[in-house]
């Protein structure tokens, strides 16, 4: 059995992380540290703290989930790893390259691991699409869109000082599509049509060449009408589906399949990407 400490009581923690943890049988208790909100101790939630350091020092479990404002990730991750905890971190997990070098070194020394909570590929719609098209080796192109309206000005994602900006918030999607699909790093990346609002990077387009005539294209950013979609292309046809990067756990996802001049709509059963990802991490 596992105990888990969540640092931060973010919207994503409330809406997706906690419900997922409640469903995972191997998670026995949950502790939460937050400086901004009151928490009801219900379900698996057994302890709460108003200080991150105090929570870390008193935690007797093995796993910490960091769900804080982006600019806090690097410092808190290194602190948790150095104390021997396995860590999951909301995207973007790490903002500075130097932190990644240090984190890998500490993880080896302490025999622990850490992972960014990039979960879009843990939905059955992703896996089913690839399987229908004959496997990732048969897919030569993918196109992704994740464009959302502007967030509230109080949201840290709208502040460059707090680690905000579309490039940080959505890079896990934009470059992650190809890295997950083909299990490789891109050979070349081209960033186009970058839009700034003062010092905040609000939107961008990306082209990534993964070699072997495989490529990715996408548009990502804030300040748009909502669009959340991915489409895969292969020699035998294409598949697209909506809500690709943040699929709700309680609705069916329609797969729009085009093969051999035929169009088919296949309903994919509800699936919880956070539950699947956390189970994968635990394994």
pLDDT band for position 84 (cuts 50, 70, 90): very high
Task: Report residue 271 CA to chain centroid gap.
Answer: 15
d(CA 96, CA 74): 7
Residue with tokens 């990346």: 189
DSSP 158: G
Q: Are 234 and 140 in contact (CB under 8 A)?
A: yes
For residue 177, which of 113, 129, 226 has the smallest C-alpha distance?
Answer: 129
pLDDT digits (tens, 9 = 90+) for 179-234: 999 999 999 999 999 999 999 999 999 999 999 999 999 999 999 999 999 999 99
Both tokens of residue 106?
């500490």
DSSP 222: E
Phi, psi of 24, deg, nearest 5: -90, 115
Q: What is the pLDDT of residue 94?
A: 95
For residue 117, which of 86, 84, 148, 80 has the smallest C-alpha distance?
Answer: 86
pLDDT digits (tens, 9 = 90+) for 36-54: 878 888 999 999 999 999 9
Cβ-proximal residues to 243 (8 Å cutoff; 6+ apart), any chain: 228, 251, 253
pLDDT digits (tens, 9 = 90+) for 110-153: 999 999 999 999 999 999 999 999 999 999 999 999 999 999 98
Cis peptide preceding 266, ω within 30 of 0 = no
For residue 125, which of 37, 232, 6, 208 has the smallest C-alpha distance?
Answer: 232
Q: What is the pLDDT of residue 210?
A: 98
- pLDDT of residue 174 exceeding 90: yes
d(CA 166, CA 159): 10
Strands, sheet with 215-222, edge to edge from the N-terminal-most edge strand: 188-197, 200-209, 215-222, 139-148, 227-234, 237-242, 253-259, 262-268
Both tokens of residue 35?
């400086």
Mean pLDDT, the chain, integer: 96
Q: Are 272 and 246 in contact (CB under 8 A)?
A: no
């Amino acid at each position: 059995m596992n105990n888990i400490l969540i640092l931060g009581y973010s919207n994503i923690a409330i809406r997706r992380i906690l419900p997922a943890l409640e469903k995972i049988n191997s998670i026995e208790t949950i502790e939460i540290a937050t400086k901004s909100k009151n928490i009801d101790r219900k379900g698996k939630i057994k302890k709460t703290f108003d200080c991150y350091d105090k929570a870390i020092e008193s935690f007797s479990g093995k796993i910490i989930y960091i769900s804080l404002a982006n600019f806090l990730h690097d410092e808190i991750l290194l602190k948790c790893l150095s104390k021997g905890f396995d860590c999951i971190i909301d995207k973007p997990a790490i903002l500075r390259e130097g932190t990644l070098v240090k984190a890998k070194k500490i993880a080896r020394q302490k025999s622990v691991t850490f992972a960014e909570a990039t979960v879009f590929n843990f939905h059955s719609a992703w896996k089913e699409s690839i399987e229908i098209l004959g496997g990732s080796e048969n897919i030569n192109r993918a196109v992704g869109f994740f464009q959302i309206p502007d967030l509230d000005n109080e949201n840290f994602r709208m502040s460059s000082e707090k680690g905000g900006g579309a490039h940080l918030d959505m890079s896990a999607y934009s470059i992650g599509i190809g890295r997950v699909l083909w299990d490789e790093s891109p050979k070349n990346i081209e960033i186009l049509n970058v839009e700034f609002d003062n010092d905040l990077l609000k939107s961008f387009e990306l082209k990534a060449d993964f070699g072997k005539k495989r490529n990715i294209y996408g548009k990502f950013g804030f300040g748009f009408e909502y669009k959340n979609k991915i489409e895969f292309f292969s020699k035998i046809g294409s598949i697209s589906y909506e809500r690709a990067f943040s699929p709700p756990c309680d609705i069916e996802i329609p797969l729009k399949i085009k093969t051999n001049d035929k169009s088919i709509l296949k309903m994919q059963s509800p699936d919880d990407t956070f539950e699947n990802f956390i189970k994968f991490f635990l394994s």
